[in-house]
A and B are shown apart, each in its own frame.
Chain A
Amino acid sequence: MKTAILSDVHANLEALSACMAHARRQGAARFAFLGDLVGYGADPLACLDLIRGEVARGGLAVRGNHDDAALGGLCEDFNFIARDSAYWTRAQLGAAEREFLAALPLQQRDGDALYVHASAADPAAWEYITGLLAARRCLAATDAAIVFAGHVHQPLLFYTSGDGVKSFGARSGVAVPLSARRRWLALLGAAGQPRDGNPAAAYALFDAAARQLTQHRVPYDHATAARKILAAGLPAMLARRLAYGE
């Protein structure tokens, strides 16, 4: 079975729809969402509607720090722009959306795979995996053979090698076999707010039978997503960055 995995949708309906359509064409049977479903983008309700539908159909979803922020709290560790958008998002959510987000687990196990937003090592600490050490901590915290995580908005694959951990930047569209004798940490790029210089939405397709992971980049209508952000009165920088993937 093929699972399409999307991280950091960030209420970007155009990116979410484009990725879902692409994944369906690639034969995805279900969807998994790695958190940060909302925040930054202008379409939290429409995105949550789509995501809830997929979860009801056997999909998976975990909670991210921006989902937490949309539910309440002071967001003290957020920068001003992120905080503004969190407060805006709070005002949009209805009871049903709040209930859905609040019920999401921080991590979810599915067979020998673990889905988490930031890191399996203390998921609620929202640690950014920016190097081999953090990747190693994440893998050490779980016995899952494969960990899927997001949060950093930059795709990178980590795997165990002897006593250490190595990293590998896979090209999009290339199926990488995840050898069963190693453990893997797949950091996914962001669907709704790419930051690696490429404005195309990122998601990955995991083929459990073949044990292969393919990262995809999907061009989408980021101009419309940006217009909606401006129209909603959200910080202009959140609209601008979508065009550059920064």
Chain B
Amino acid sequence: MATLWRAVGPDGTVRLLKRPKLGPGSHPACFAGFETERMVLARLVGPNVPALIAAGDDGPDDSGPWLLEEWISGPSLVEAARRAPLPETEVVRLGMAVATALHAVHRQNVVHHDLKPQHILFRDDGTAVLIDFGLAAHGELPDFAADAADGAREMPLGTPAYIAPEPLRGERGNPKSDIFSLGVILYLLATGRLPFGAPESRGGMRRRLWLDPPRPRALRPELPEWLQEIIMRCLAVLPENRYATAAQVAHDLAHPEQVVITARGRNLQGGGWRAAARRWWKTVTAPPPVRRAAAEQLARAPHVLVAIDTEHETAALAAAMRQVVRRAASADSLARITCVNVIDATLSAGQEEAAELERGQRTQRLMALHHWARELALAPERLRFHVLEGGDAAAALLDYAHTQHVDQIVIGARGSSALRRLLGSVSARIAAEAPCTVTVVRITA
């Protein structure tokens, strides 16, 4: 839809120059894609998208509109996809990078709608960069890409191998459509195959509305159940059965031991014809979708981090904290709650005997976290437990909040002033430095 140029400035800086193909015979969608990219990129910030340097409606000699973007020199995911099937660790590393980039874009109210290896580049530090927002939908701006397709009544908007079921029905702007495409990418990296092939007809594409792809572990038996669980949950036909956010995918890839394995992860075969028939019926009878902006959907699935001090917390404070967590969990039914505790690893470093002790301590703390959360009475799927290591509890919690896209931290205030003097106030530092909302729970005297 556009021509790409490598532009070198007078000072030697390299940029990407993009110009739409205009003129007689060019498809109206070409320009709509160009317009969309300009509009959406102007709204996006951060390391996971190319920076928009400048844009104009007309170049020299009436050469038409143009975009000047940051040049990303790193390799694209195509290179890794060619080597697939990849070792599990590499699937996880690449998958986390892509999921993180996707979440960053979704948080800014944008659904990419054409996520595939060709549109994912990597910076030197391994950060994934999503490119080509020509089909993207911004939750607060006109949807030019959809308008153009509507006029042309042509193929659905997206790439056949990667497109999710609901955009095939014309639904736009659901971030979960990107999560489905992320599932296709993970499937490809893990098995070396595309789950639905690369169909060329609309009918061929629609098969994914009811048919399950072959289970990844049927193709590669050595793949762990948790990885199949993650991939198949991304590939669920109905959006509500997929992960609520890409951050949750990244979180599960980072902590496989916490993934709750269901039949989806264990089975080597799909649901069979009965399940297919059920899904087919659901598809043909499904009501027209309600469009919700990406940011609005993400807001309903916050990641809540509960910092639990298993050693010093009083029963009253624990009860008050559980009350706050219960409220958060019931207000947002898709909220994910992660309970964490920090152990001081520096004390025991370097000694073999101490390492043994530490393992014991970790297990004991994990048990304490599970025990703490029992009274929340939440479905296991919504809960995660972690014991973090670090001499500085606040730093460990802040680091975790940053890397795991935490939206809210719940932490108890230390009741006794003697304890606060001795240990310092972790909650005060968290409240001051956290990248998100912090709720400090205190018992009223």
Instruction: Judge whether B142 and A168 touch: CB under 8 Å.
Output: yes
A161–B151 touching, CB < 8 Å: yes
**Once the chains bind, are B28 and A177 in contact (CB under 8 Å)?**
no
- State the total of A-B contacts with C-beta under 8 angstroms: 35
**Interface status of A109 (Cβ within 8 A of chain B):** no
**How many Å from the CB of A167 to the closest CB on chain B?**
9
Q: Which of A159, A163, A181 contacts B142 (CB 8 A)?
A: A159
Does the CB pair B35–A181 fall under 8 Å?
Answer: yes
Residues of B contacting A: mostly: helix
**Which chain A positions have C-beta within 8 A of B147?**
161-162, 166
Residues of B close to A162: CB separation below 8 A: 28, 147-148, 151
The chain A residue with its CB closest to the CB of B142 is: A168
* A96 cross-chain contacts in B, Cβ below 8 A: none
The answer to whether A73 has its CB under 8 Å from any CB of chain B is no
Contact A179 B151 (CB under 8 A): no
Q: Is B155 an interface residue (CB 8 A)?
A: no
Report whether B39 and A179 are in contact in the complex, using a CB–CB cutoff of 8 Å. Answer: yes
- Is B42 within 8 A of A177, CB to CB? yes
**Residue among B31, B141, B142 making CB contact with A166, cutoff 8 Å:** B142
**Interface presence of A95 (CB below 8 A):** no
A208 to chain B minimum Cβ distance, whole angstroms, is: 14
Give the total of B residues in contact with A, Cβ under 8 Å.
Answer: 16
Contact A171 B148 (CB under 8 A): no
In the complex, whether B65 has a CB less than 8 A from a CB of chain A is yes
CB pair A177–B39 under 8 Å, yes or no, is yes
In chain A between 49 and 82, which residues have their CB closer than 8 angstroms to a CB of chain B? none
- The distance in angstroms between the C-alpha atoms of A168 and B42, with both chains bound, is 19
CA distance A157 to B42 in the complex (A): 20
Contacts A177-B42, A179-B35; A171 near B140 (Cβ below 8 A): yes
B144 proximal to A (CB < 8 A): yes
Q: Which residue of A has the minimal Cβ distance to B65?
A: A181
A171 to B38, CA, bound (A): 20
Please tell me if B57 contacts chain A, counting CB pairs below 8 Å.
Answer: yes
Cβ contact within 8 Å between B141 and A176: yes
Please tell me if the beta carbons of A163 and B151 are within 8 angstroms of each other in the complex.
Answer: yes
Residue-wise interface mask of B (145-163) relative to A, using a CB-CB cutoff of 8 A (1 in contact, 0 not): 0011001000000000000
Bound CA span A179–B42, Å: 13
Chain B residues 27 to 84 lying within 8 A of chain A, measured CB to CB, are 28, 31-32, 35, 38-39, 42, 57, 65
A174–B109 CA distance with the chains assembled, in angstroms: 12
| A-B residue pairs in contact (CB < 8 Å), sample of 22 | A161-B148, A161-B151, A162-B28, A162-B147, A162-B151, A163-B151, A164-B151, A166-B142, A166-B147, A168-B142, A170-B140, A171-B140, A174-B141, A176-B140, A176-B142, A177-B39, A177-B42, A177-B141, A179-B35, A181-B35, A181-B57, A181-B65
Chain B interface residues toward A at CB < 8 A: 28, 31-32, 35, 38-39, 42, 57, 65, 140-142, 144, 147-148, 151
